[in-house]
Structure 1
């Protein structure tokens, strides 16, 4: 399982299809009634990309980039990270309970939060909301041992967690934004490229299977 990032090929014309997939067992009785069992609480995803062309020259080597990445993964054997176009930014809000200092990051699927397990790392000074969500708590903390401005830090690790250097006080909110990735593998052990013009190729289908979790 590698943390290599699927190559972005800027300047190319491409098309992407995203397909959420669940696993449901359906048994039908002789009278036509169904009994269904769900084996997945969250979906896996299939991504299908098609490129209008891939260049093969000294300045632009999209074909070599894509082909070598596929070879390095040994086809479907090794997983990698995929930054889906326009589906890679999280914006999470958390409220402290006075003891928790680690929070699981998520993305919203409609109104439903879905945990994300692969994120770009970052490290910065913490910035709790000035306006507290507990109305009865005074804005100015009279406890001189806990000044309003402190040296607390927040870290986003690669496993989709927000880690604070000290617990977030009860009722205090914090917001965090960043980038997440899908954990993917190639769907098959083979890849096809078509040579249609000098120094120009096309990949009719590049198919990936992935999830928002740490493993696929």
Structure 2
């Protein structure tokens, strides 16, 4: 049965990766030339190619060992997005009753916004504020991104969170094509990764 292994893709390889969010937009052109656009899914999904970070035979051996330990596409794992792995913002507002909140990151400008749930915070990085006051009176589950306060935050108080996080992914292939020649020729190994939903 497939599962999630709570281990991280090797950081030296992750730092060389490229990729980012994917959206699925359905576009229909009407008879009058206007477009009707709808989103096929509520949330974006991230896709990466981590092969750019493989620079040496040692890197390749590290990658192969990690790939085999995950059994290819079978098991998910943590991946550090080199372009987007930090949060410092609001995650909610107290109502005097609720104790559980989901860590998240907001992407917004004056015209629109989207809230992304964060399910894989990095252990030891989370700082929580109630208004302007730091608090440690909470517990965090680093496998789900849920925090539970010892007592409900008072009504109206803004809950702020600063932390680092990983993206839950899996390999998007069951085969690694490797060659010693690629290093000397400046070529890159193709290592596709795709984001997965670990809370489904």
Which runs of no fewer than 5 residues in structure 2 stay unpaired?
A: none
Residue 42 of structure 2 corresponds to 41
In angstroms, what is the RMSD of aligned CA positions? 3.6
Paired with 2:51 and 2:126, the residues of 1 have a C-alpha distance of: 38
Paired with 2:183 and 2:193, the residues of 1 have a C-alpha distance of: 28
Task: Determine helix, strand or coil for the equivalent of 2:60.
Answer: helix
Give the TM-score normalised by structure 2: 0.75
> How far does residue 163 in structure 1 lie from its aligned partner after superposition?
1.6
Give the TM-score normalised by structure 1: 0.70
Which runs of no fewer than 5 residues in structure 1 stay unpaired?
A: 132-148
The answer to whether the 8 Å contact 1:100/1:168 transfers is yes
Task: Determine helix, strand or coil for the equivalent of 1:162.
Answer: strand
Task: Determine helix, strand or coil for the equivalent of 1:168.
Answer: coil
Task: Work out whether 1:86 is the aligned partner of 2:70.
Answer: no
Task: Work out whether 1:21 is the aligned partner of 2:29.
Answer: no
The answer to whether the 8 Å contact 2:126/2:164 transfers is no
Task: Work out whether 1:76 is the aligned partner of 2:78.
Answer: no
Q: Write out per-residue CA displacement over residues 6-63 of structure 1, whole angstroms, 9 at most, x where no aligned residue.
A: 11127x983x32242233556778998877654311111211133365334xxxx322
Bigger helix share: 2
Alignment of 1:52-201 (within 5 A): 53-56=54-57, 61-93=58-90, 94-111=92-109, 112=113, 113-122=115-124, 127-130=129-132, 153-158=137-142, 159-196=144-181
The answer to whether the 8 Å contact 2:129/2:161 transfers is no
Paired with 2:147 and 2:50, the residues of 1 have a C-alpha distance of: 32
The size of the alignment, in residue pairs, is 191
Task: Work out whether 1:204 is the aligned partner of 2:189.
Answer: yes
> How far does residue 190 in structure 1 lie from its aligned partner after superposition?
0.9
The answer to whether the 8 Å contact 1:123/1:153 transfers is no
